[in-house]
Structure 1
Amino acid sequence: MPAPSQLTIATSSVLRLLKEEITYHKELVDQEAKIKILEEKINSGAVASDENQEFMLKQERTAAEQTKAVFGPLKQKVEDAVTRLEEQIALKEAEGGPEAEIEQAKAVLGQAKAAIN
């Protein structure tokens, strides 16, 4: 079995990074929902001064901040991967590479550019 081409590798890289970004966005939404629930419980007095709830709230806020911190570097990685993919597409088009592979790469490139914007 031949090794995957550089275009296939670049395409897979962009797809993986896009999926990773989606996962982090979902995680952040879940964390923010947990924070809201904990805040409501604490503010309503439903937990009767349970110090564990305050600690859990602090932990969830910390986790949410750490998740938010991932987005800057991840965006840069996506942009770098998109640049590499564009280069590989141009190279394969110049070489007359497999049309199906080029079309798939262009589709992924379109998804990535939409996600960046």
Structure 2
Amino acid sequence: MAPPSKLKVATSVLVRLVKEEASYHKEMAQQEARIKKTEADIEDENAEYQLKQERQALEETKNVFPSIRAKISQALQNLEDQLESSKEGGEGSEEELTKAKEAIEAANKTLAEAS
């Protein structure tokens, strides 16, 4: 079996990073919900400690976003370069080109939402 093309690898990297950012957003929403629940149940003797831990986890999650967005931007640029060279060289199947374009659209949308 032939190794995957550079275009396919670059597409996979970008798709993975976009999914990773989406999972961090989901995690952040869950943490915020747990914080609200803990704040509502303040009578628990351990609530203050749990609240502190949840807030710390939320901050750590928020701190991940700048680096993941930088990685997405870098992977996006790499994929765009690979796509351009594949078009010029006539390399890559139609399916690979379509997936690459879809990944670029998803990454641009993700970066636009972050702004």
- Is TM > 0.5 for Structure 1 vs Structure 2? yes
Alignment of 1:27-106 (within 5 A): 27-42=27-42, 46-47=43-44, 50=45, 52-97=46-91, 98-106=93-101
Aligned alpha-carbon RMSD (Å): 0.8
Structure exhibiting the larger radius of gyration computed from Cα positions: 1
> Please, what TM-score do these two structures have when normalized by structure 2?
0.93
- Runs ≥4 residues deviating over 2 A: none
Identity rate, percent: 42
Letter in 1 for 2:11: T
After TM superposition, give the deviation of residue 100 of structure 1 in Å.
2.0
After TM superposition, give the deviation of residue 56 of structure 1 in Å.
0.6
> Please, what TM-score do these two structures have when normalized by structure 1?
0.92
Q: Number of residues paired by the alignment?
A: 111
Gaps of 5+ in 1: none
CA displacement, residues 54-95 of structure 1 (integer Å, 9 cap, x when unaligned): 111100000000000000000000000000000000000000
Residue matched to 1:18: 18
